[in-house]
Amino acid sequence: YLLNNIWEKIDSEEDLTKEELCCLLSLEDPEQLELLYQKADKIRKKYVGDEVHLRGLIEFSNYCRNNCHYCGIRRDNKKIKRYRMEIDEILNTAILASHMGYKTVVLQSGEDMYYTTDKLVELIKLIKSNADVAITLSIGERSYDDYVRFFEAGADRYLMRFETSNPELYAKLHPDSSFENRMNILKWLKQIGYQTGSGIMIGLPGQSIEDLAQDILKFKELDLDMIGVGPYICHQDTPLAGNPNGTVEMTLKVIALTRIVTKNTHIPATTALATLRPADGREKALQAGANVIMPNVSPVKYREFYELYPNKICIRENAKQCNSCIKRRIFSIGRTISKGYGHSLKKKMDN
């Protein structure tokens, strides 16, 4: 029986084919899903252990020059109030994050050219000389030279999701960027020396099971250090208004298979997943292959405006509240919190 063969292949850590991934992505029987999550959890434990790495997320600007069809902070959304944090405010937030014990800060924003290369270089150097943290950038598409300068200034990691490995679907959703360029940038980032993260959304309108299987194979082909998988959540003030959200179940299946296929990568339990299932979405992800959480440390006064999708969690909480909330959740499932930087497990680094 086909499925039994696949379970055996997973147990002996053989490569899965696209067809086998499609078969697993189509599982619906609760007992079989439980088995899939268990197998992913076992591989997670073997390759990355019980420690959960916390990354303090600073959403420093919601200005964006792009018009991605799914995104609530797209350029043409005139309904949201735009904000920018100044360099000293971002620095102070990073220092606060390090005082809370986070050994990584993630600087994320729309594609906002207000932050010139020089400004960002200055910010990276300031953070590095005032706080003992690794820096992850998530600021979209820039030039090769910019990426080199950020890296030389001290940025350690870069996150840029390819969103979908289906080039036609990518083109439909992204009027301002090309799939080819995204893929080239991911190659550059690795060449330059960044620990490189990418990822996808689950449930994009028009996305098929085959697309998701291909996405998972793409993660492996790109040899990524970090992989973010979150549900698409429909935003009313975008061209995709009225479409259904991605599901928690499909997101968990993709997280589990991403762990099974890529073994020693860092995989976050995403905020989008927790938004669809506030009660236990993150715990479920951590028990289906994930090993990272990115607690929000953005100043409370800005949080509601970084509205990529509606009903985002942690809008009224502050950094301290999110910190204790997340710690409680991690301990509740018997996991521990890493005290190290949580660098890539694919490079020889002092963690």
Under the rule (CB under 6 A), what is the footprint of ligand FES?
295-296, 314, 317, 321-322, 325-326
Partner whose binding site includes residue 203, from ligand SAM, ligand FES, none (CB under 5 to 8 Å by kind): none
Asked if 215 touches ligand SAM (CB under 6 A), the answer is: no
For residue 132, CA distances in Å to 194, 216, 274 come to 18, 34, 28
Partner whose binding site includes residue 321, from ligand FES, ligand SAM, none (CB under 5 to 8 Å by kind): ligand FES
Residue 114 Cβ vs ligand SAM, minimum distance, rounded to whole Å: 13
Asked if 138 touches ligand SAM (CB under 6 A), the answer is: yes
Asked if 267 touches ligand SAM (CB under 6 A), the answer is: no
CB 8 within 8 A of CB 20: no
* The token pair that represents 149 in the structure block: 């300068």
Q: How many residues bind ligand SAM (CB under 6 A)?
A: 19
* The token pair that represents 59 in the structure block: 């959403």
* The token pair that represents 277 in the structure block: 């299932």
Partner whose binding site includes residue 317, from ligand FES, ligand SAM, none (CB under 5 to 8 Å by kind): ligand FES
CA 244 from centroid of its chain's CA atoms: 21
Partner whose binding site includes residue 270, from ligand FES, ligand SAM, none (CB under 5 to 8 Å by kind): none
CB within 8 Å of 207: residues ≥ 6 apart = 164, 166, 169
In Å, the largest CA–CA distance within the chain is 61
Asked if 70 touches ligand SAM (CB under 6 A), the answer is: yes
* Type of residue at 170: Y
**Bridge partners, residue 331, by sequence:** none
CB 290 within 8 A of CB 258: no
Instruction: Choose between 234 and 261: whose C-beta lies nearer to ligand SAM.
Output: 234
Find where tokens 């690794």 sit. 134
- Which listed range, 33-41, 94-102, 136-144, 247-255, lies at the site for ligand SAM (CB under 6 A)? 136-144
Binding site for ligand SAM (CB under 6 A): 70-71, 108, 110-111, 138-140, 160-161, 163, 201, 230, 232-233, 235, 272, 308-309
